[in-house]
Amino acid sequence: MFFIFYLLTQIIFFSFWGRINILGQKLLFDERPKTKREDLFDRQKELEELNRNVNRPFILLTGVRRIGKTSLLNVFLNEIGMPYILLDCRKLKENYGWKDFYQLLSKSSSKIIEFLKGIKGVRIFGGEVEFSWKGKDFVSLSDLFDHLNKNRLIIAFDEAQKLRGPLSREIKEALAHAYDYDNNLTFILTGSEVGLLYDFLSVENPSSSLYGRYFHEIKLERFDKEMSVSFLEKGFSELSISVSDSIIEEIVNFFDGIPGWLTFAGNLYSQVKDIEKVKEIAVNVALEELKNLLESKRKVSEQLGKRYLHVLKCLAEEKNSWSKLRDCISEKEGSTVSSSVLSNIINQLESMSIIKDYQFLDSIYKEASKKL
Ligand code: ADP
Ligand code: MG
C-alpha cells in the first residue's frame, strides 16, 4: 500500500515539473499527449499519410501502448482545419450500454454543437448536448451519422477496441451504414490492442456488417536507435541539462525506442539523475498495468488469473517456444496444462499486443513480468 502511494506521489510530482516553456510550447518530455506539430518529434511521414488519406471512410492508427497514437491524432486533428469529434473510448466501462456511449458522445461534441441543432432526439442547452438514447425521441447512431453527414466531419475513436462489448454489433452496423451512405464522414480509429481492434471490426468475418470493407491502416513503429538518441538529446537540451552519452545510450537500450517510455525516462532522469532509479520506477509503472490485467482475469476465475501469471513469468524467463512454455507452466503449476487453455492465453496476450511470437513487444513489460 505504502509503496503504491510512494509510486503515485513520485509520478505526480515528476510529471508536474517542467512541462511548458516560456513560449507556451510543450516540452518534449511533457508526459501528456502532444497536440501541436512543433511539440511532436518526427512522425512527418505519418502526418502526411493521414493527410493523403483523409478522404477515405476509415483510417486505423495502430501501435503498442505509448508509441504516440493519441499525440499523432491530436496534432493531425488540430492541423487539418476540419470539424471533428474525438471520443476517448477508454472512458467506456467494459459492459457499457447506450447511456454510457451517448454520455461520452455528448461530452465530446462541444466543437460541433452547430451541426447538432434541430436533430430529433438531441437537446442543446448552453454549451451542453444531450442525446435521447431511449423513448420515442430516441436518436439511433445510424440516424445521427446521417444527420452529421450534412457537413464534412471527422469522427475519431481513440482506443477503439474498447468499443467491444454488448453493443459491438449495433455499433458496427452503424459504422457500416455510414461507410456506405455517409460520404462526408471520415472515421479514424486508434488501437493499442491491435488484435482486439481487428476482432471488433471483424472485416474478415462474412457475418460481420463490416465484412470486406477497406480500412487504411497506419502502423506506428518505434524510433530506431539514432532517432531515440536525438529525441533524448533534444529533450535534455530543452531543459538545459547536460547528460553524458553513456547515460543516453543506456536509456535508449533499456527503453527500446518507444517514445512514451523515452519521454517518461527523460523527464524522470532530469529530476533524479539516477538511471537505476528511473528504470526501477518505469518497471513499477508497467508492473501496476500488468497487475490490473491479472486482476481482471482473476475476476473470471482464480485459476485463470494464476495461469496468466505463470505464462507471463515463463515468457519473461525466455521460454520462447510452445514446448518450453508448456513445460515451464506445468512446472509452476505442478500439473499439466491443456493445449487449448494455453493457446487461448497466448492468443489473448497477442491480441492485446503484449507479446508476439512468444516475445514481449515492450521490454519494460518483460522486466515487470519478472517481478510479478
Ligand atoms: P499512445 O496514444 O500510443 O499510447 P501517446 O500519444 O499518449 O501514445 O504518447 C505517449 C507519451 O509519449 C506521451 O507522453 C507523449 O507526449 C509522448 N510522445 C509520443 N510520441 C511522441 C512524439 N512523436 N514526439 C514527442 N512526444 C511523443
Ligand atoms: Mg493513446
In a domain, 25, yes or no: no
Mutate to test the pocket of ligand 1, among 159, 192, 263, 285 (most ligand atoms within 8 A of CB): 263
Last-in-domain residue among 173, 192, 219:
219
Q: Cβ(263) to ligand 1 under 6 A?
A: yes
Q: Which three cell numbers stand for residue 219?
A: 502502423
Q: What are the contacts of 78-83 at 24+ separation with CB within 8 A?
A: 78/35, 78/36, 79/37, 79/47, 80/51, 80/54, 80/154, 82/54, 82/152, 82/153, 82/154, 83/111, 83/112, 83/115, 83/151, 83/152, 83/153, 83/154
Task: Give the pairing of strands 128-131 and 153-158.
Answer: unpaired
- Give strand pairing partners of 217: 60
In a domain, 57, yes or no: yes
Q: Which three cell numbers stand for residue 1?
A: 500500500
In a domain, 35, yes or no: no
Same domain, 61 and 168: yes
Q: Cβ(259) to ligand 1 under 6 A?
A: yes
CATH of the domain at 333: 1.10.10.10
Residues of the chain with pLDDT under 70: 1-25
pLDDT at 154: 98
In a domain, 283, yes or no: no
Query: Which of 151, 78, 76, 83 minimizes the C-alpha distance to 119?
Result: 151
Number of domains in the chain: 2
CA 33 – ligand 2 centroid, Å: 7
Same domain, 194 and 76: yes
Last-in-domain residue among 177, 195, 219:
219
Helix (H, G, I), strand (E, B) or coil at 332: helix
Domain carrying residue 102? 43-219
Q: Cβ(70) to ligand 1 under 6 A?
A: yes
pLDDT at 22: 53
Helix (H, G, I), strand (E, B) or coil at 86: strand
Same domain, 214 and 305: no
Query: Which of 222, 286, 237, 236 minimizes the C-alpha distance to 266?
Result: 236
In a domain, 76, yes or no: yes
- Nearest ligand to the CA atom of 159: 2
The pLDDT tens digits of the residues spanning 231-290 come to 999 999 999 999 999 999 999 999 999 999 999 999 999 999 999 999 999 999 999 999
Same domain, 101 and 205: yes
In a domain, 112, yes or no: yes
CATH of the domain at 156: 3.40.50.300
Question: Closest Cα to atom 20, ligand 1: which residue?
Answer: 68
In a domain, 62, yes or no: yes
pLDDT at 8: 53
In a domain, 246, yes or no: no
Last-in-domain residue among 219, 245, 274:
219
Residue with cell 490492442: 193
Q: Cβ(231) to ligand 1 under 6 A?
A: no
Q: Cβ(210) to ligand 1 under 6 A?
A: no
Same domain, 328 and 192: no
